[in-house]
Each structure stands twice: as structure tokens, then as C-alpha cells.
Amino acid sequence: MFSNTTKYAIKASLYLAIHSSKEAKLVIKDIAEPINVPQAYIAKILQSLSKKGIISSTRGPKGGFYLSSNQFQTKIMDIVEAVDGEERINSCLLSLEKCNSENPCSLHHLAYKEKQIINTNLRLTTLEELRNHVLSGKSVLPL
């Protein structure tokens, strides 16, 4: 359902939500290692997310990546769409181009309703909510 790039983008954004601030920015190495993503790969992802306003970054000796206070309200679907676009999340499980409700593939009926529920939850859930979930011990993230 998610590409590896999207998974890494969500993990990195959540990691920033937990460990960074405007005063305590993180550099690529500080993010890549704990979430187990190659530095060059996560660097490209974070640069893209920064250009799209999902995370913040500053250059220079005290530079790095962080979330501003309003970026904690970023919906998880915003990250998914920024990385993969809306097409991927709504794509056919068998990757058939012409699969839809009128012309369903053989798996369509098994997953359509569940995919709609997941999409709704991704549109409603913020980075702050995920952060609070992790900090309360209800879910895990490499820390």
C-alpha cells in the first residue's frame, strides 16, 4: 500500500516530531541511523518534504531538520500524497490500470472498504497524534 519512500517519510517525520525542535534541529545522520534508512536516501526525502512545507530545515553550522509548531498538525495523508501522490494510495492491489468500482479486479471487493477506512484515518490523523501515541507507550518507533 505504501512505497518504501512513503514509509521512510512517515518514520522520519514522526522521528522529528518526537526528537526535534527549532532550538534542537537534527542532521541527516541523527535521523537516518535510528530509523534504519540510508543517509543519502533519507536526505532526498527530507529535502523534498521541506520544499513542500511538511517539515522545516535551516542551513549552516546550526542547521538541520525540525518541525515548526504548525507542522505538528500535518495529516499523515499529506505526507503520503507529498511523496507518492494520491494515485498510489488509491491504486489497485494488483496494479491494474482499469480497476475501479464499475470494473473491479478480482481483489477489489476484498479491500475496497478497508482501503477507504485507512484513507479516512490517514486524512484525520496528525503527526502530533502519532507522536503522542508513541510517547504514551501505545506504539513503537526506533528511538
Q: What is the CATH number of the domain that holds 54?
A: 1.10.10.10
Q: Is 18 domain-assigned?
A: yes
> What average pLDDT does range 114-130 have in this prediction?
93
Query: Across 47-61, 106-120, 129-143, which has the greatest mean pLDDT?
Result: 47-61
The H or E element spanning position 16 is helix 4-19
Number of domains in the chain: 1
Domain holding 41, by residue range, is 4-135
Q: Is 70 domain-assigned?
A: yes
Q: Is 141 domain-assigned?
A: no
Average pLDDT, the chain: 90
- Contact assessment for residue 6 and residue 84, using Cβ atoms and an 8 Å cutoff: yes
Q: Is 76 domain-assigned?
A: yes
Under DSSP, the state recorded for 23 is: S
Question: Is the C-alpha dihedral spanning 124, 138, 30, 42 positive or negative?
Answer: negative
Q: Is 46 domain-assigned?
A: yes
What are residue 64's DSSP bridge partners? 58
Q: Is 41 domain-assigned?
A: yes
Is the predicted pLDDT of residue 141 greater than 70, yes or no? no
pLDDT tens digits, one per residue of 77-121: 999 999 988 777 777 778 788 887 888 888 888 888 888 899 999
DSSP letters, 97-143, are TT-SSSS--TTHHHHHHHHHHHHHHHHH-BHHHHHHHHHTTSS----
Is the predicted pLDDT of residue 72 greater than 80, yes or no? yes
Which tops the pLDDT comparison, 100 or 72?
72
Q: Is 71 domain-assigned?
A: yes
The model's pTM is 0.88
Burial 1-39 (b: 16+ CB within 10 A, else e): ebeebbebbbbbbbbbbbbbeeeebbebeebbebbebee
Q: Is 82 domain-assigned?
A: yes
Which residues neighbour 121 within 8 Å (Cβ) at sequence distance 6 or greater? none
